[in-house]
Amino acid sequence: MKNYIQIGTNKGNDDFMSIMKNLDEKSRIILIEPQPELIELIETSYCELKEIHDITILNVGIVVDKKINTLYKYKNDTDSALTSIIDRKSVDLESEEIKFKPLTFQELCDNFCIYDIDLLFIDTEGYDYEIINSIDFSKVNIAEIICEKWPFDIDSSDDIKTGPSYFNNVLLKKLSNYELKEFDEKNHKFLKKKNQI
Burial class (CB in 10 A: 0-12, 13-18, 19+), 97: exposed
Averaged pLDDT in 10-residue chunks for the chain of 197 residues? 96 93 96 95 96 97 96 74 85 90 98 98 95 96 95 88 93 94 81 80
- pTM (whole model) above 0.85: yes
Q: How far is CA 27 from the centre of its chain?
A: 18
* H or E element at residue 109: helix 105-111
Residue 31 dihedral angles phi and psi, to the nearest 5°: -115, 125
Q: Which residues contact 15 (CB under 8 A, 6 or more apart)?
A: 121, 146, 184, 186, 188
In the prediction, which pLDDT does 78 show?
A: 60
Helix (H) or strand (E) holding 132: helix 128-134
Cα atoms found within 13 Å of the Cα of residue 113, Cβ hemisphere only: 1
Residue-level pLDDT at 81: 63
Grouping H, G, I as helix, E, B as strand and the rest as coil, residue 167 is helix
Looking at residue 52, what is its pLDDT? 95
Give the whole-angstrom CA distance, residue 82 versus residue 79.
Answer: 7
Confidence at residue 158, expressed as pLDDT on a 0 to 100 scale: 80
What are the chain's domains? 2-64+101-196 (3.40.50.150)
